[in-house]
């Protein structure tokens, strides 16, 4: 109930006169007043605690923190000073060294077992043995090399990054940097974020080269194929669409893995248990995101470039 200043005030009501109820500021104030009255008084009410325990609230909070962190990271990358570049080079070499053996071993076992020994034999019996090399190349570049490389990268390098940042948060090193006025994003986060992107790109294309060479070599003995014929078939299957799309997709995936690892590490709390929880969440979210981004990207890629579906050779 609204009344003018000249009217008698009703006992128990404290209503100020409102001249323009349609004014945006007045409506916003009224909505906030209603929400505050609904929540109750105090900084944290029972309703706040109930909502904070829900899964949806946790997901929305993580999404908001991730988007905010991404904006800070990209702003620090494109604006001077670029003091993070030397450390990014060092960190990328560490990530590459940390993940190379796992990525190469996992990809070689998988590709040779299925590409050359199992499905290679079947395709060769059907009279299309010359298609084994191009099929392995396209499969590595579009699917297998992508999710295998970045899932291992997330499990090895992403978890290590989340653990490192989480431990720094628990030891209050991050808080000390804030007190000293040190830009933690530019000094600590950006080099490690860029390192995962660079190392992921190097590993993903190295996986393709190493596995193609291994398949060409092994097919000499398992399928009786001449190496020169296999190389010609692979070169015919190459096209700039696949190479460009792979570069863009792998950059996105590296940024996603690095961003999730940084966000979960910085949000760790509760001692060692909280750090362990942050590491587990980093791996799980990264795995799901890698599959989701890869699927959506490939659907869009083949929609805009249908000519890439054709395998020449």
Question: How would you write the pLDDT of the chain (313 residues) with one tens digit per residue?
Answer: 444 444 444 444 444 444 554 566 677 777 777 666 665 555 556 666 666 666 676 778 788 888 999 999 999 999 998 999 999 999 999 999 999 999 999 888 888 887 777 777 777 777 776 778 788 888 888 888 898 899 999 999 999 999 999 999 999 999 999 899 889 999 999 999 999 999 999 999 999 999 999 988 888 887 777 888 888 888 888 888 888 999 999 999 999 999 999 999 999 988 888 999 999 999 999 999 999 999 999 999 888 888 777 666 5
The predicted pLDDT at position 168 comes to: 93
By the 8 A CB rule, do 161 and 262 touch?
A: yes
Q: What is the pTM of this model?
A: 0.79
- The Cα–Cα gap between 313 and 299 comes to 24
CA 25 from chain centre, in angstroms, equals: 40
Q: Find the helix packing angle between 271-304 and 240-266, rounded to 10°.
A: 160
pLDDT at site 219 = 83
CA-CA distance, 28 to 25, in Å (whole number)? 5
Contact 166, 268 (CB under 8 A): yes
Task: Count the helix, strand and coil residues of the chain and give each as a percent rounded to the nearest 5.
Answer: 80, 0, 20
- The domain segmentation of the chain, as residue ranges, is 1-53, 64-309
Chain centroid, CA 275 distance in Å: 19
CB atoms within 10 A of CB 171: 10
Cα separation values, 184 from 61, 169, 240, Å: 21, 12, 39
* Count of helices and strands (H, E) across the chain: 14, 0
């Amino acid at each position: 109930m609204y009344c003018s200043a000249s009217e008698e005030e009703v006992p128990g009501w404290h209503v100020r006169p409102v001249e323009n109820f349609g004014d945006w500021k007045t409506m916003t104030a009224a909505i906030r007043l209603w929400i505050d009255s609904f929540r109750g008084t105090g900084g944290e009410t029972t309703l706040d605690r109930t909502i904070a325990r829900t899964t949806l609230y946790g997901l929305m909070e993580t999404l908001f923190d991730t988007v905010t962190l991404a904006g800070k990271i990209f702003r620090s990358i494109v604006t001077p000073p670029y003091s993070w570049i030397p450390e990014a080079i060092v960190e990328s070499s560490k990530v590459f060294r940390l993940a190379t053996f796992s990525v190469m071993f996992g990809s070689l076992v998988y590709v040779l077992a299925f590409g050359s020994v199992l499905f290679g034999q079947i395709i060769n019996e059907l009279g299309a043995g010359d298609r084994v090399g191009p099929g392995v190349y396209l499969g590595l570049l579009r699917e297998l090399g992508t999710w295998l490389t970045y899932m291992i990268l997330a499990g090895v390098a992403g978890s290590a990054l989340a653990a490192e940042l989480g431990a720094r948060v628990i030891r209050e090193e991050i808080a000390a940097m804030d007190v000293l006025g040190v830009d933690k994003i530019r000094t600590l986060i950006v080099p490690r974020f860029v390192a995962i992107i660079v190392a992921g790109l190097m590993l993903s294309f190295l996986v393709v080269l190493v596995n193609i060479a291994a398949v060409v070599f092994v097919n000499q003995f398992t399928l009786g194929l001449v190496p020169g014929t296999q190389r010609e078939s692979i070169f015919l299957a190459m096209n700039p669409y696949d190479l460009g799309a792979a570069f863009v997709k792998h950059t996105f995936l590296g940024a996603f893995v690095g961003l999730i690892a940084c966000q979960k590490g910085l949000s760790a709390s509760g001692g060692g248990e909280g750090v362990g929880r942050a590491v587990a969440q980093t791996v799980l979210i990264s795995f799901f995101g890698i599959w989701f981004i890869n699927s959506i990207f490939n659907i869009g890629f083949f929609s805009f470039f249908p000519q890439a579906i054709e395998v020449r050779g």
